[in-house]
Structure formats: C-alpha cells, structure tokens
Amino acid sequence: MERAASMHVRPEETVAEFVGATKRYGEVLAADRIDLRIRRGEFLSFLGPSGCGKTTALRMLAGFETPTDGTVLIDGQDVSAVPAHRRPVNMVFQHYALFPHMTVEENVGYGLRQRRPRLSRREIGDKVAKALATVRLDAFGPRRIWEMSGGQQQRVALARAIVNEPKILLLDEPMAALDAKLRGEMQRELLDLQRQLGITFVLVTHDQEEALAMSDRICIMGKGRIAQIGSPQELYDRPATRYVADFVGKANILSARIVARAGGTAQAVLGNGAAVTVADAPGDARGEAEIAVRPEALSLAPSGEAPGPGVAAVAATVTHRTFLGDHTEYLLDAPGVGALQVNVPRQAERVPGGHGMGASVHVIWPEGAGLVLAAG
C-alpha cells in the first residue's frame, strides 16, 4: 500500500485547532493555554507522563471536557460548547469501553444506528461487515465481547470508531493493555489503517517509542502545556528544553560555559575545561547553559590514543558496561563533568571485546554533536 491518502491532501489544511484552550479543575490547571493546529490526514501524538494534560487535550477534542477558557475548533467551527454526541470525531478508549450486552457486530454498528434520519438495516450491515473486514475480524460478528481476547477487543473498538468515518480518530492509550509483541503488530496495523483510510489520527500515549514509531508529528506535553511540537526526528535531534531531551530518547545533560557563538553553533567549555562545539539554541545569549548530547553521538578511544584534530576528548573511567548485542552501553565517570553514557556500536569498538570495567578512556566528542538547551 503506497502512502496515498495523505498525499492527496493539501499539506497545511487544518482539521482541528486549539486556541488558548485551558481546562481548570478548581486549583488544578489540567490544560494551560494550548495552541495547536492539527493537519488533515496527519498522525499526531500527544506524548507526556501522566498528569501532563495530554488526556485532557484529547477529551476536549472529543467533547467530554469543555474548555474553561479558549476554544476548540473542528473544520473551522467553534465546537467548544458542542456536546460529544454531536461531534464528528470518534474515540478508541483506553480499556475499549465495549458494550458488554451486545455482540461484536452490534457494538460496531452502534454508532450507525444512532444516525437520524435512520440508515437502512442493509446499509448498516454492509458498513459493519466492511469495518470488521478492515480490522480482520470478518467471522467474529456474532461473538460476544467476553469471548474475544484483548487484542481482538481492541480491533472491535477500532472498527466501532472507524465505521462512522470520523473527521478525526482519537486514540486514548489504545495499546497500553496489550503485551509488547501484540503492541508492535498493532502499531503497524494502525499505521496501515491510517494510510488506507486517510483519516486524521490523534493518539495519546506515555510511551515515547510508540509515539516515535507512529507519528508524523509529536506534541510533547508537560504541566498542562505544550513543551515542544515537531516530527520525531526534529524532537530527537533538536530538543528545545531539558524536559524534552530527557523525555525523548536518552541524553547526557551537562552544565557548560558558552564562550563563543556564531552561525548557529556555540563553543562550550565543560566542567573539566574541555571545549566542544555544539548546535546553539536560537536567540540564546546566556553565558551558562545546559547542553545535551545523545549517547550514540559520542564514541570511546583508549586513553593512550591521541584524539584527531578538531575533535574534543574528555578523560573518563568506565564504571558500568552493558553488552546489548549490536551495541554496548558504557556508563562513565568523567572528572569535572560527571556521569556520561556512551553507546558504541559493535563494529566501532576500538579495543577487541570493548573497554573493560575501570578502563581509562577518552570520550570523543565530534564537532557539532550535541546542542544548547533553552532555559525551562
């Protein structure tokens, strides 16, 4: 299946929009002035730890929560005061919320049966059959819900939502209850489904791998606010803040003194006096800042070996090593800098069998690896 559906769509067309959307429960700010445009046909994820406001954002889109301030728009229309049952969106609930007193096909056809004017029985039957085929549950229509496994129940929940052809499909941690293997399968299936249907998907998850694997764009939430929004690569390569760098992937976060900056790069001096060249934060002018560098951006050399020209080297001792097959995770102690993690691919090991515990090494910091983090 080619990536057809999203291609037909004008790239920047907005299907839904949050404008200063705020949700307050007494003293608690669950969502704080959220501004966000959701593009038609994209796969957008809200990612963050529990209590970050991601679920509140989704529920404001579904209509289960009314914003205390600000507005939510769907297709350009202010739906802030429109109840859930009149919104053109459908949700796959965290624990599926399937109706236990109905069969699989009755569950899937439920939304169609609510339409007024009524759809004909035949039309409903056809659509239900098609939706069940889409989630590969063709033969399961007459089954009872409790006869279905967790993975099957999730497919039923999915079919029950997509059969209504919603403008946006909302997914509230849909894979949280599945085991790891099933989760991987389900992720691929969801992506295929999204390409096939061309519907906008909005996913809420606390699982960064899930968000990275599936999303066109990720909206990282923290304390009710949007911390950063961008493609998975952008967030991984250019995390704006320490919060984002910490949350997406692993990062070494170090304090540094910025001694020079030009053309988007900055010269940073680490605690042990080593000077490294990193990408700068736009518009930043601080003398002291935190810098972040990914473990796989660094490499290790035996301390006897001289580092090449233009390459910074930080003296360190190996404190832990974890062999993970294709690569080894080294935890190091660098005097004056602190703890560092470096991931070395197997074929890039400079010492046969890798560096041992307690070995003295140089952490090689290539020019341009790492970046200055914005405050906050």
Partner 1 sequence: MAMTRSRARALLLTPAGLWYAAMLLLPLAVVLIFSFGERSQIGGYAPGFTLEQYANLPARFAAFRNTLTLAPLGTLASLLIAYPLAYYLAVKVTPKWKTMLLVLVIVPFWTSILIRSYAWIFLLGGKGIPAFLAMFGLEDVRLLNTPFAVLVGIVYGYLPLMVFPIYVALEKLDKRLLEAAADLGTPPWRAFLQITLPLSMPGVLTGSMLVFILLMGEFLIPSILGGGKVFFVGNALVDLFLQSRNWPFGSAVAVGLVLVMLVTVGLYTRAAKRFGAGRDDAALM
Footprint on this chain of partner 1 (rule: CB under 8 A): 62-64, 83-86, 89-91, 93, 95, 97-101, 110-111, 114-115, 144, 160-161, 164
Residue 281 near residue 360, CB atoms below 8 Å: no
CB of 260 to partner 1, least distance (A): 56
Which tokens belong to 11?
Answer: 């790239």
- H or E segment at 72? strand 69-74
CB of 282 to partner 1, least distance (A): 41
CB of 64 or CB of 271, closer to partner 1: 64
CB of 109 or CB of 232, closer to partner 1: 109
Alpha helix (H) residue ranges in the chain: 54-62, 104-113, 121-134, 150-162, 180-197, 208-214, 232-237, 242-247
CB of 41 or CB of 111, closer to partner 1: 111
- H or E segment at 279? strand 275-279
CB of 136 to partner 1, least distance (A): 22
CB of 25 to partner 1, least distance (A): 15
CB of 97 or CB of 259, closer to partner 1: 97
Nearest to 58 by CA among 228, 204, 227: 204
CA distances from 333 to 289, 292, 369 (A): 21, 16, 19
Which tokens belong to 374?
Answer: 């914005």
CB of 136 or CB of 144, closer to partner 1: 144
What are the two backbone dihedrals, phi and then psi, of residue 278, each rounded to the nearest 5 degrees? -130, 165
CB of 43 to partner 1, least distance (A): 20
CB of 79 to partner 1, least distance (A): 14
CA separation for the pair 245, 290 (Å, rounded): 11
CB of 101 or CB of 181, closer to partner 1: 101
